[in-house]
Amino acid sequence: MLDGGVMNNSSSMQMNVCADLGASELKVIYQIGNKQPCGMSLLPNILEVDSSLVSMYRQQQMSISEDIAWLKLKKSDTKVIAVDQLAENIFSLSNYKQLKINLADWRVLAIIGKIITIELEKLLAYPEEISLNLTVLLPFGESSGDSDEDSMKQDIKFFKRELKKKLKSFYHNDKKRIVKLENIRILPEGVGSLMCSPNHNITSTIVIMLGHRNTSYLYFNGDKFVNGDTTILGFHSFVKEFCSKTSGQEKNNLTTTTLWKSRLDLNELYRISKTDRLEYQAIELQTLKQAFLDGRAELWGKIKGWLLKELETIEFDKMQFTGGVAEFLQPLILEDEYFSNLPIEFAGSQYQETVKKSLTFPGLREEKINELSLRLVDCYGVFSGVFQC
């Protein structure tokens, strides 16, 4: 028997997976048997293309990394689903108006396919049986089977049914995978950050989830969820506004990543400079910096207005900001005349080191580990609570 509950001859693999299906990045924690949990990420891009396009792409590359991936359900399919970096390379735009749950089945397949690819390198034999316990984080409003919206209940049922069916037989990079879905939970984004917080079961807490696509709040009295709501305000709103105020900027992964890194150093914006002439570079960089500062202030202003309206009558002991955009907006929140006087905490920066020390990050550089551990806090809280790690 191999280490961690994976057997060589009887050949079984047990996977516990928590997936945060973010609009800018899929954040994942997984565990094989009783091994130490691992953290990883994928781009969320999904694109249906002709299989001939994938073949042509492969022929043009010197080597293919594990981030270049495509999916199909039958070996003979002439249409495939490009995912992760492959989909980004072919066509980088994303539709942030589309509900996450509508593409969640393909994104989970991409995640499971990548996990199997990583883990098979450590095994002496391909497991005859792979079983999966899965927890998925989705925005409030897309995550509850108790939703008042009949259409949302149907979407959740359809997602679970389709995912279970697809996992039974699918192809990841032309390799057949068979996975038995033992259990699936769908929870709202933000609940994991609450679970990281000590004494959360005896306090009333408002969790503010600031994400790439959505801003949500969840109100808990101890462990009991009371109410919540969500709005389409997020980092994508900032990216769109930034591009509209600058020349030649595109709403792609390079722009998004650069803007995120610029929260710590505005000089990072030189990475998306469009001019080659030295005499204009300083002027352009100043324009980019001003657009960044104006756009960030505008995003916080809109989010603040929505929160003040929604939370006007709610009494609470603590307010917890979580999600990657919480770190992006943290300086403005701490300087805000109203919010700076509230009992607030930032889950990402507070629990980042705990996540970093508790997980392994196969194949990732230190810079990426630091970034990902910050963004995995919500996922880590849920994973630890669900799988008792």
Question: What are 259-291's pLDDT values in tens digits?
Answer: 999 999 999 999 999 888 877 888 999 999 999
* The dihedral sign for the CA sequence 248, 253, 256, 259: negative
Q: What per-residue confidence (pLDDT) applies to 93? A: 60
Q: What is the CATH number of domain 190-358?
A: 3.30.420.40
CA distance 22 to 328: 16
Sequence letter at residue 288:
L
Decide: 116 and 82 in contact? Cβ < 8 Å: no
- For residue 363 the two structure tokens come to 């194949």
Q: Could you report the average pLDDT of every consecutive run of 10 residues in the chain (389 residues)?
A: 41 93 93 95 92 85 75 94 88 68 94 93 80 94 61 85 96 95 94 90 94 93 92 93 92 90 94 85 93 97 97 94 95 95 94 96 93 95 85
Q: What is the pLDDT of residue 356?
A: 96
CA distance 210 to 230: 10
Residue 190: CA atoms inside 13 Å, Cβ hemisphere, count?
31
pLDDT of residue 88: 84
pLDDT score of 2: 37
- In the three-class reduction of DSSP (H, G, I as helix; E, B as strand; rest coil), residue 91 is classed as coil
pLDDT confidence of residue 279: 77
CA-CA-CA-CA dihedral for 302, 306, 312, 318, to nearest 10: -80
Distances (CA, A) of 366 to 22, 156, 223, 361, 370: 22, 37, 35, 9, 6
How far is Cα 137 from Cα 155, in angstroms, rounded to an integer? 15
CA–CA separation, 189 and 72 (whole Å): 29
- Do 177 and 128 meet the contact criterion of CB atoms below 8 Å apart? no
Q: What are phi and psi of 188, to 5 degrees?
A: -75, 140
Contact between residue 58 and residue 82 where contact means Cβ atoms under 8 Å apart: no
pLDDT for the residue 162: 96
The distance in angstroms from the start CA to the end CA of the chain is 22
Q: Is 211 helix (H, G, I), strand (E, B) or coil?
A: coil
When computed from its CA atoms, the radius of gyration of the chain, rounded to whole angstroms, is 21
Which residues partner with 29 through β-bridges? 18, 39
**Cβ contact 213:237 at 8 Å:** no
Q: Report the CATH fold assignment for 12-188.
A: Nucleotidyltransferase; domain 5 (3.30.420)
The half-sphere exposure of 150 on its side-chain side, counting CA atoms within 13 A, is 0
Task: Give the pLDDT confidence score for residue 1 in this predicted structure.
Answer: 35
CA distance 85 to 232: 25
Is-contact 37 383, C-beta < 8 A?
yes
User: How does DSSP assign 245-266, residue by residue?
Assistant: TSSS--SSHHHHHHHHHTTT-G
pLDDT at 63: 57
Q: Where are the domains of the chain?
A: 12-188, 190-358
The span from the CA of 114 to the CA of 110, in Å, is 6
Largest CA distance in the chain: 68
CA 110, CA 46: separation in Å to the nearest integer?
A: 9
Find out whether 135 and 386 touch, Cβ atoms under 8 Å.
yes
Which tens digit of pLDDT belongs to each residue from 8-49?
444 789 999 999 998 889 999 999 999 999 999 999 999 999
List, in sequence order, every residue forming a beta bridge with 346; answer none if it has no partner.
321
Q: Which residues pair with 128 in a beta bridge?
A: none
